[in-house]
Chain A
Amino acid sequence: MKGYRVLDIDNVARIGLMFIDGDKLEEVLLDKLSTDYDDINYHHEYFMELKTTLMKIEKINPDLSLFAILWQLRPDNDNLSVPVIAGGSLPVERWFVTPVNEEMRKVFRTGKPAVFHRSGDASSYYYPVRNSAAEIVGVLELLDKQGIRCDI
């Protein structure tokens, strides 16, 4: 059992992705076109399942101190990304709808993982989340070496 702690970030993601239900991620945000600050609404059950999965992913290798976040693209503008569910920390981009960075765009387009090295030691590891039809419906971010939890 001691060996479980040596899993690297890719292996943490590999295990985590097995438990993230892409169909539920597709449906968790009930109004994907909302723009009003107070207009956001979730499918409670799907959110709970996805969020608790993120919390477990963060604990697969406690030594890594990863934070897990799920992202989607805005259906009306695929240049914009939405941090749909945060695990223990917000992403560096906080809670805002934000322009898609190149690395995340690459994941949505190619289905291959990518890494965004941020200033300092922090890096965002991006992995595609697929639904049961094998479509990419979101991105799992594992935020590494963020240090301080991004919170509000």
Chain B
Amino acid sequence: MQIYLLKEYFRIDCMTGNPIEQEFSDDFIKYENSMELECGRNQYVSFQIAFDSEGEEITKADVEFSDLKGENYSICKEEYSIYIEWFHKMDGRYVPDALIPIEWNTAKFRVPQDEKYLKGQRVGVLWVDLFIPGDAPPGEYCGKLAVSAGALDKRVFDIRVKVHGVTLEPRSRICADLNSYADSVSCAFPSLRANRDRYVDGSYFEVEKEFYRLAYDHRCTWHHLPYTHSGTIPQSFAPEVEGEGKNIRVKSWELFDRHYSGYYDGSAFKGSKWGGHPVLYSYLPFNITWPASYEKWGKKGYAIEFRRILREFTRHFEEMGWKETYFELFFNHKKIYRFFPYDGDETRFLDDSEFMDIFGALSKEAFEDTDVKFIFRTDSSWSYGHHYDSKYSDMVKMWVVNKCIFSWFPESVPVMKKKGNILFYYTGLDRLDANLMSLVSKPLECIMMGTDGFTLWNVQGFGEDYLATPLDNGRQAIWYPGHEFGYDKPIPSIRLKVLRNCMQLVDMIKAVEATPLMRKAKDIINRNYGYDDTSWWKEKPEFINDPPHTWTNAKLSDANPSINHVGSSLSPVVLDKIRSEILDVLSVEGF
């Protein structure tokens, strides 16, 4: 049996012990004596412990950490947390992603971890997070990790952490937006699915809160669109309204407040390492047929109902003091689903832009008359080139733009910034077995392209049996339901952890945006990618001047085949290099 340590960014196939990132196997290192890590303060750092059973069954493993001693400060061993890596089958390989928190004590580490799914497993791996407290002075910290398993004598590893003199702020400056569609929670948890009272008895709220917290703890923002394409809103995702026309009013805020107040006042995030701050962004329940019924579309009653309830929202949110979250008025409806005649999402036919005129006019007065951060958002693709410098970017203040199409318009960034608009790009997750550099490139691209965040369009698609293989080979899940392990909570994934670790870095870079250090950080990223500032952008295709409705999805795919996989040709060790160089620069300057 062998026990060795791994960096965070190389993963092991549990059946063979080979790295998943095979094409970079020259850089793959098994650390057999020690692990050296670098980070700032008030942030996490990660590594892995691998147990290669070499065919011998492992029924028990003991892992013992010591405190990490610095010159005048110790990082307590309680700052470590451990997860069991679960392996998913993909094209004949077994790729780790789901992470089972070991403190739950419902799943003991063993090899094979599971006789049904992982028969023949040879290597078991633990994921280790270590949190460096914000008050830890910069310097070298050393500790021990003692590991034993099976008949093997105890192995002792040195753990050395170089803590730089740079401190991560509690709140993210770049938004890693994890998108999903309500109610994507209940369907993933049998106990909720079977409970008709889940939206009123508190059971749904308890589970949902864990999704918000898991995102928050990983420097992400969970978005859960509160209505379907028909405009239907699950109970508690909007306040109940009564009456119609001039008599429409919110009947009660009680259930809505019980549902959302913890997210909007930050109390839901108390106990997190980064304190209890309100969620950065949140969808509003307003849509084409709520609160005003589409039956009244185009009539004065529609405008009256929409404006009255929007006014009630602004007043209520002011009274509640919910002033740190951006509340998004967003229309997700698509014509293909036959409910409404507009593509509110990804407007393609330019005459559909009319919906922005309509809702811009309906919301303008209420939005301008409050200090709560209500904002009109659109998700844009085909028409972005027509819209970014038009009247629409004056009325719509948050733009989430298709990555491929956004990459043709570097000139749009200063225009959007000048108008004070919030700018994200959107993309999707890669397959589970994709090089993790593609994932960590997503926040780095925000720095290099000047966006305020990025959206992963869906993170809640688990499929029928994610323990075997997640839906769409993992392209739609960044975490997993924990009920398979006895808990009604989501469990994290390796990809979520790696994303968090990179988000920590980009948040520190973003904090120096107004200083010359930003340029230095960009130069480091460019050098390690083999890029210059222009390489992040793409040539406009020949069809760019044709009306967007004449473009096809095939043309778009052909135009930028690799734009959603930036970084995938780089060795994962590049992440370490970038992090180390940037921490050096930031800590010298004392941020």
Contact = CB atoms under 8 A, between A and B. Distances in A.
Interface stretch (A10-18, A39-47, A117-125): A39-47
A86 B354 contact: no
Contact of B294 (A36, A51, A69, A90): A51
Contacts of A69: 338
B229 A41 contact: no
Contacts of B298: 48
A145 interface: no
B340 A151 contact: no
A90 B348 CA distance: 23
B335 A41 contact: yes
Interface in B335-361: 335-343, 346, 348-349, 351, 354
Given A36-B553, A52-B295, A151 B232 contact: yes
Interface centre among A48, A69, A149 (most CB of B within 10 A): A48
A38 B297 contact: no
Interface string A71-95: 0000000000001111011100001
A38 to B, nearest CB: 6
Contacts of B354: 44
Contacts of A115: none
Contact of B338 (A41, A48, A56, A86): A86
A114 interface: no
Contacts of B370: none
B340 A51 contact: yes
B183 to A, nearest CB: 11
Contact of A89 (B230, B346, B382, B553): B230
Interface in B41-61: none
A43 B349 CA distance: 12
B316 interface: no
B297 A90 contact: no
B364 interface: no
Contact of A36 (B293, B295, B552): B552
B549 interface: yes
B336 A95 contact: yes
Given A38-B382, A41-B549, A95 B348 contact: no
A95 B336 CA distance: 7
B66 interface: no
Nearest to A55: B295
Contact of A90 (B295, B335, B338, B343): B338
Contacts of B18: none
Contacts of A42: 335, 341
Nearest to A59: B295
A4 interface: no
B228 interface: yes
Interface in B196-246: 228-230, 232
A1 interface: no
B336 A84 contact: no
B234 to A, nearest CB: 11
Interface of B: prevailing SS: loop
A95 B338 contact: yes
A84 B553 contact: no
A48 B382 contact: no
Interface in B98-121: none
A141 to B, nearest CB: 12
A52 B228 CA distance: 18
B237 to A, nearest CB: 14
A37 B553 contact: yes
A38 B230 contact: no
A49 to B, nearest CB: 9
Contacts of A47: 340-341
Interface in A128-152: 149, 151-152
B229 A152 contact: yes
B232 to A, nearest CB: 6
B338 A85 contact: yes
A38 B294 contact: no
Contacts of B553: 36-38
A56 to B, nearest CB: 7
A52 B297 contact: yes
Given A38-B336, A47-B341, A86-B339, A152 B228 contact: yes
Contacts of A90: 230, 337-339
A55 B339 contact: no
B346 A38 contact: yes
Contacts of A52: 294-295, 297
Nearest to A35: B552
Contacts of A48: 294, 297-298, 341
A83 B297 contact: no
A25 B382 CA distance: 27
B221 to A, nearest CB: 24
A144 B228 CA distance: 21
A40 B549 CA distance: 9
A126 B335 CA distance: 23
A41 B335 CA distance: 7
A42 B335 CA distance: 8
A149 B349 CA distance: 29
B460 to A, nearest CB: 14
A151 B382 contact: no
Interface centre among B338, B342, B346, B382 (most CB of A within 10 A): B338
A69 B230 CA distance: 13
Contacts of B229: 151-152
27 contacts: A36-B553, A38-B382, A39-B348, A39-B552, A42-B341, A44-B354, A47-B341, A48-B294, A48-B297, A48-B341, A51-B339, A51-B341, A52-B297, A69-B338, A84-B338, A85-B338, A86-B337, A86-B338, A86-B339, A88-B230, A89-B230, A90-B230, A90-B339, A95-B336, A149-B230, A151-B228, A152-B228
Which 8 pairs between the two chains have the least Cβ-Cβ distance? A47-B341, A42-B341, A86-B338, A151-B228, A40-B335, A151-B230, A152-B229, A44-B341
Given A55-B295, A90-B230, 17 more contacts: A38-B346, A39-B348, A40-B335, A41-B349, A43-B341, A44-B342, A44-B351, A47-B341, A48-B294, A48-B298, A51-B340, A52-B294, A52-B295, A56-B295, A86-B230, A88-B230, A149-B232
